[in-house]
Amino acid sequence: MTKTILGLSGSLRRASFNAGLLRAAAELVPEGTGIEIGSIRDVPLYDGDLEKSSGLPPAVQTLQAQLQAADGVLLVTPEYNNGIPGVFKNAIDWMSRGPGLKMWAGKPVAVIGASPGGFGTMLAQAQWLPVLRTLKADLWADGRLMVSRAGDLFDSDGNLTDTASRDRLAGFMDGFAKAI
């Protein structure tokens, strides 16, 4: 049976390293597993009044349907000011509303990320931990993937071209796929 991983990148940038890392993950997952790439682009800023008057926005409903159908989730996080980028946290906050909270509970989740600096999103990844615990998600912690010095490893369109990084990513995805 094919397993499906919902992959989300926390960057809206055209040539994003993190979106490129997610595309590479989708190429490198082992046979029998597929990554469905979701989009946070059309998710509005969370507003409790909007939720009360109109319910969950269409982009959030789409993401929740993808979450519901997925066997696992791969969060590909950038790091801003040593933390989780607001656009990404905002999308996950929306996804936890209404029926979403139950969907996250027990869901295997892995976190990876890429940055041009030397620490490869280490602090942003750590900041996802209390969020995932609150969602009662099942964090997959056997592997770690922090892609640092991303400027040397991706091409100008944000494609991961570095062979050693692709090998590390393939190993990470193999481990996560086996765990879900």
Ligand X SMILES: Cc1cc2nc3c(=O)[nH]c(=O)nc-3n(C[C@H](O)[C@H](O)[C@H](O)COP(=O)(O)O)c2cc1C
- Positions that interact with ligand X (CB under 6 A): 11, 13, 16-18, 78-82, 115-117
Shortest Cβ 86–ligand X spacing (Å): 9
Specify the residue, 97 or 166, whose C-beta has the smaller distance to ligand X.
166
Q: Which is nearer to ligand X, 56 or 146 (CB)?
A: 146
Indicate the residue among 44 and 151 with the shorter CB distance to ligand X: 151
Residue 33's H or E segment, with its range, is strand 33-37
CB of 103 to ligand X, least distance (A): 25
SS3 147: strand
Nearest distance in Å: CB 1, ligand X: 32
> Does residue 159 contact residue 20 with C-beta atoms inside 8 Å?
yes
Closest CA to 89 of 120, 111, 58: 111
CA dist., res. 160 & res. 147, Å (int): 10
Nearer to ligand X, 22 or 131 (CB): 22
Count of CB atoms situated within 10 Å of the CB of 125:
20
